[in-house]
Amino acid sequence: MAPVDAAGPSWLGAGRACGGRPSQQDDLVCLADEATQSRLLVLADGMGGDGAGELASAGVIAVAQRLWREGRWRELPGALFLEQLCQDAHLELRRRGEGLVDAAPHATVVALLLKRRTAYWAHVGDSRLYRFTRDRLLGCTEDHSAVQVRVRRGELTADEAGRAADQHQLLRGLGGPMQPRVDHGCAPGRRSRCAATASGSSCPRRSWPPSPRDAICTLRWARRWRWC
């Protein structure tokens, strides 16, 4: 994974890899308001064929930047702001898909908002947020995927899920015909690290629940990020 060559605050680190794809289809942004010590991290992983993946991830990031500029994060509770971000991004992808013949922009998304010493996060699909304190994994978002359903039913172990042929078959995403259902979480602010990963970005095979290999692999990058 190559580091992103972009200016940013010292607490931010990022890296990107194609993950076996012919082109880069994920995108990310980190926005900050130093006056209130508020932060917004958004990671989108696009898909859809014929360039639609890049179009989709860029659309999600464009919506995040617009809502941040408009100051919606100041006015709304954290969870409601992230819900609006995901729903507005979904509508933007639908708009971008109008007129396309052989492609349809879709994306997964994970977003983290730090506001008033509370961390809020939201996700749709299999882009993940890992939370660490020191070298201990506190938690991870749960993938919206077919293989995760099989794990929950006891049909697969976590290790088997990481090798399953259908591990990237998604049950939720942005840009489809149905309004997306967004999962939310929050936790009091504390000195911890968070790492957001797109499917296949930091670890080619990921399992749920996160295996020790997943956690170690992601922690190598999470050591570069300190959010709260």
- CATH number for the domain harbouring residue 37: 3.60.40.10
The reported pLDDT for the residue numbered 167 is: 73
Residue 201 forms part of a structural domain: yes
Amino acid, single-letter form, for residue 111:
A
Give the number of domains in the chain.
1
pLDDT on residue 90:
98
pLDDT score recorded for residue 156: 85
pTM above 0.85, yes or no: no
Residue 179: what pLDDT? 96
**Residue 15 confidence (pLDDT):** 56
Can you tell me the distance from the alpha carbon of 62 to that of 67, in angstroms, rounded to the nearest whole number?
Answer: 9
Residue 195 lies in a domain: yes
Task: Please check whether residue 165 lies inside any domain of the structure.
Answer: no
**CA separation, residue 133 to residues 193, 194, 216, 227 (Å):** 6, 9, 13, 11
Q: What is the pLDDT of residue 197?
A: 72
Range of the domain at 137: 2-141+174-222
Residue 169 lies in a domain: no
CB 132 within 8 A of CB 222: yes
DSSP 145: B
How is residue 139 annotated by DSSP? Answer: E
Q: Is residue 163 part of a domain?
A: no
- Structure confidence at residue 77 (pLDDT): 96
Task: Please report the pLDDT score of residue 200 as a whole number.
Answer: 46
Whole-number pLDDT of residue 51: 76
Give the pLDDT means over successive 10-residue stretches in the chain (228 positions): 44 55 76 91 87 92 96 94 98 94 91 91 92 78 89 83 79 95 88 64 46 50 43
What confidence score (pLDDT) does residue 117 get?
Answer: 85
Q: Does 112 fall in a domain?
A: yes
> 123 near 181, Cβ under 8 Å?
no
Q: Is residue 118 situated within a structural domain?
A: yes
Chain centre distance of CA 79: 15
- Looking at the domain assignment, is residue 102 inside a domain? yes
Per-residue confidence (pLDDT) for residue 70, from 0 to 100: 95
Cβ contacts of 13-19, under 8 Å, gap ≥ 24: 13/221, 13/224, 13/225, 15/201, 15/202, 15/221, 16/201, 17/200, 17/201, 17/202, 19/198, 19/199, 19/200, 19/201, 19/204
